[in-house]
Amino acid sequence: MAYAEEDRNSYEVYQETADWLRARTVQRPKTAIICGTGLGGLADLLDNKIVFPYEDIPHFPRSTVVGHAGRLVFGDLNGQPCVCMQGRFHYYEGHSVSTVTFPIRVFFILGVEILIVTNAAGGLNPHFQVGDIMLIRDHISTFGLGGQNPLRGPNDERFGVRFPSMSDAYEQDLLGLAMESAQELGFLNFIREGVYCLVAGPCYETIAESRMLQALGADAVGMSTVPEVIVARHCGLRVLGISLITNKVVMSYNSQEKASHEEVLRASVVRAEDLQKLVTHLLGKLGESTKAL
């Protein structure tokens, strides 16, 4: 069925997509994982996989960026039922901000309770190194502050309240479990915590912009994640955000370094396996905490 643009993001459209997926898999995931640039290998670790290319899913957007496979993968990770997005959608691809976040509301209708969102990011904090993994404690949205918020427009109370709080966007309990997982895996020497800043892209930041973001308190910068987090929290999902630092942001006019997508993809390969181990271990701890309730 074709929908006008103003109807495409109605509850009924999300419901159609969720029903289509529910009819084709027995999996009922409680955790959704968004795999950022170069991090799609996490979905390959799932057991009992059922894979849906984005183009086959009714109303689902398409991913066009190198490093994003464009598949929705259902399965079990460390014994926990999950759904993984191998590739996400970005505003700079030409999508509306509501289209970028379309899968989150589908996950909510499917019964997902936890969103783990990963990304590749540039390091603004001078103490960060390429290959560090940053657990996101908070975010700054230059995008949202400029009026591009995924909740803009009529509010549907079936998803959430009109004015949701974002002071607790990243859940402390999940951050604690992630840090425990890192400690148990021996990863603490490259685990960081910090503030993620969203910019629209697709060009990388100027030196003046990077200095401004650093002065605002941002530790890492990227072109994704925040819209999905906002919609997830609007729906009441618990959220954990993880950034893989794939490049150090250029902060000096005397530097000969330049950010590039190829550099991001190369760096993501180096630490991707450790990030996969971290998320897998965390899923096991989530399963243990659920059994304890």
pLDDT 10s digits, 99-111: 899 999 999 999 9
Give phi and psi for 127, each to the nearest 5.
-90, -10
Mean predicted lDDT score pLDDT of the chain: 89
The predicted structure's pLDDT at residue 265? 66
The pLDDT > 90 percentage for the chain reads 69
**Mean pLDDT across the stretch 126-132?**
93
Question: How many DSSP H helices and E strands does the chain contain?
Answer: 9, 9
**Mean pLDDT across the stretch 245-253?**
88
What ranges do the domains of the chain cover? 5-292
**Mean pLDDT across the stretch 234-259?**
88
CATH code matching the domain that covers 5-292, chosen among 3.40.718.10, 2.60.370.10, 3.40.50.1580, 3.50.50.60: 3.40.50.1580
Peptide bond into 202 cis (omega under 30): yes
Nearest to 121 by CA among 257, 214, 246, 17: 246
For the chain, the distance separating the N- and C-terminal CA atoms, rounded to the nearest angstrom, is 43
- For 42-46, 211-215, 229-233, 277-281, which range has the lowest pLDDT when averaged over its residues? 42-46
Q: How far apart are CA 37 and CA 87, in angstroms?
A: 7
Q: What is the dihedral of CA 151, 164, 15, 73, to 10 degrees?
A: 90
Which three-class secondary structure state does DSSP give residue 88? coil
C-beta separation of 234 from 242 below 8 A: no
Q: Is the pLDDT of residue 29 over 80?
A: yes
**Mean pLDDT across the stretch 130-155?**
92
Q: How confident is the model at residue 156 (pLDDT cuts 50, 70, 90)?
A: very high
The pLDDT > 70 percentage for the chain reads 89
The predicted structure's pLDDT at residue 259? 66
